[in-house]
Amino acid sequence: MPPHSVLVYDGDCAFCTTSVAFLVRRLRPNCTVTPWQFADLDGLGVTRQRAQHEVLWVSPVGAVYGGAQAVAKLLLSAGGLWAWLGGSLTLPPLRWIAFGVYRLVAANRDRLPGGSPACALPADRGPGARPPRE
C-alpha cells in the first residue's frame, strides 16, 4: 500500500485531466495524483475496470473510495473550509445528491467543456452502470 493517499483519475480524458489539475492547483490536497494509465493498479488494490469507471481515492491503509466519495476525500485532505465541504459530502442526504451529480457529470464528461470523444465512458460503464465488484 502507498505511504500516503493517492487520487487516481482517467488521464485519457481531457475533462478529467483539466478538472483534476484545477483542483490540485487550487486546493493543494495532501495526496499523490496519478492517471490510472500510469498507476500501479495492482499495488493500489484497484482493478482496471473500476479505474475506468470513476475517480478513485486510495487511502494509506488500502481503503478505496470512488466517485463522489473520492472527491469528498480529496476535499477533506485539503483542510480548512474544503474539509468541511468534503465532510458534509459524506453524510446523507448530501452524499446521495453528490452521488447523483457525480454520475451525471461522469456520464456526460465528453460533452462538457474540455471534453472530447476520448472522454466518453465505455458503454458497459455508462449511465446507470455500477462499478464491477472486486
Q: Is residue 134 part of a domain?
A: no
Q: What is the residue range of 107's domain?
A: 6-123
In-domain check, residue 29: yes
- Give the pLDDT score at 108: 87
- Write the CB contacts of 118 (distance below 8 Å, at least 6 apart in sequence): 12, 13, 14, 110
Residue by residue, DSSP assigns 29-86 as -SSEEEEGGGS-HHHHT--HHHHHHS-EEE-TT--EEETHHHHHHHHHHH-HHHHHHH
Within a domain: 49: yes
128 inside domain: no
Would you call the peptide bond into 132 cis, given omega within 30 degrees of 0 as the criterion?
no
Domain count for the chain, please give it. Answer: 1
pLDDT in tens, 62-114: 999 999 999 999 999 999 999 999 999 999 999 999 999 999 998 888 787 76
Q: Is residue 73 part of a domain?
A: yes
In the chain, the percentage of residues whose pLDDT exceeds 70 is: 84
Does some domain include residue 130? Answer: no
Single pTM value for the model: 0.84
